[in-house]
Amino acid sequence: MKTSVVIIGGGPSGLLLSQLLHLAGVESVVLERRTRDYVLSRIRAGVLERGTQDLLDRAEVGARMHGEGLVHDGFNLSFGDALHRIDLAELADRAVMVYGQTEVTKDLYDARDRMGGTILHAVEDVTPYAMTTSSPFVTYRSAGAEHRLNCDFIIGCDGFHGVSRQSIPAEQRREFSRAYPFGWLGVLSETKPAAEELIYAVHEDGFALCSMRNAALSRYYIQCAADEDVAAWSDDRFWSALKRRLPREVAEAMETGPSVKKSIAPLRSYVCETMRYGRLLLAGDAAHIVPPTGAKGLNLAASDIHYLSEALIAWYRDRRADLIDGYEARALARVWKCERFSWWMTSLLHQFPDTSPFDARMRQAELDYLVSSRAAMTALAENYVGLPY
């Protein structure tokens, strides 16, 4: 079997790349180790930068996003029992869109189905070969049979734990990482959101975030120990902890209810600067992880796909190799800026176990300066709505 591009990973990154390539007349096959139902059951963040919105429009999958997504012109910082609004539209002349990653994935699946895209689910033992040659290929098992798929390029969109990055020899991988000494306990509830816009809360008990998926589905997070047991958190305990970290007027008006889903996620920063190894190219979580504080995970993957789709389309349309050769440098320039912003937001808004009284005063001074300086708020807004591609 032969195709132009093999995409390992059928999440939003892999599906988006497949869709963009299809619209440009480039053939691809997507290999996903999970079932479609499993992929669509994953609950992920849903704050989309303007660049991500534009890319989804370019992929012809933006109609439902524009019809059902929530346009947010700002968000709130909470500390000292007060809300401080960051006006994104005024400061950065752009807004963000609240539209869940699951919904983006549904839209991409629908588009690939309509256009006859080849997506193979529940495949096992996916292994790339001959990546440094002009004739790479991938082997995999499906329904008990072994298969070989020849191609021109292999694209790794299979996440942090996927096979793609691990297929690059360890001595060839340039890796940088930081693990944070806490996690996020997240709850999804069929309740009215606590506010019309997101609230990022700083509190001596730890960070909290009030987000939403739609007008009747809320997503809340609180900082917790990295090794916390989710079973120890009843709904009542969660709501009590969350309310303590919010301004009183917000907490008192908040609607609570049974959790639909509850989970704990660790926080880490990670970059593999080796995003290209011959004809294998990495994108999204396969190459980098950001803590979710700055809402950059899906958006950073989208910018990778922007650069990668441009490079592959130029290769097939014009036999240009320069964008393939320059992909790693173009992507990493934006990756590190987004890593910086996510690290800064995480450092500013969370309680660290080794925080000294001096550190606490410095953080308070930075928060006070941030909400009193237009220049500081503008820098925050420009990064939050998304740096240009």
Is 274 in contact with 172 (CB distance < 8 Å)? yes
Which is the catalytic residue, given 12, 22, 72, 307?
72
CA distance 138 to 4: 12
CA 69 to mean position of chain CA atoms: 17
**Residue 292 annotated in active site:** yes
- Catalytic residue of the set 12, 247, 291, 292: 292
Q: How many CA atoms lie within 13 A of 162 on its CB side?
A: 30
* 217 CB-contact burial (10 Å; exposed 0-12 / middle 13-18 / buried 19+): middle
Q: Are 185 and 222 in contact (CB under 8 A)?
A: yes
- Residue type present at position 355: T
Would you call 296 a catalytic residue per the annotation?
Answer: yes
Cα distances (angstroms) measured from residue 277 to each of 44, 167, 331: 29, 9, 14
> Residue type at 223?
Q
Which residue in 99, 109, 200, 307 is the catalytic one? Answer: 200
128 carries an active-site annotation: no
72 is catalytic: yes
Distance of alpha carbon 6 from alpha carbon 18, whole angstroms: 9
The residue among 298, 267, 274, 270 whose CA lies nearest residue 284 is: 298
Q: What are phi and psi of 245, to 5 degrees?
A: -95, 0
Q: Are 83 and 247 in contact (CB under 8 A)?
A: yes
Cα separation of 164 and 117, whole Å? 22
Of 140, 221, 327, 384, the active-site residue reads 384
247 annotated active-site: no
Nearest to 60 by CA among 100, 18, 2, 4: 18
Q: Which residues of 174-188 are buried (b: 16+ CB within 10 A; e: fewer)?
A: eeeeeebebbbbbbb
Chain position carrying tokens 């303007």: 50
Catalytic residue of the set 296, 306, 327, 350: 296
Strands 5-8 and 28-31: parallel
Residues acting as catalytic residues: 72, 200, 292, 296, 384
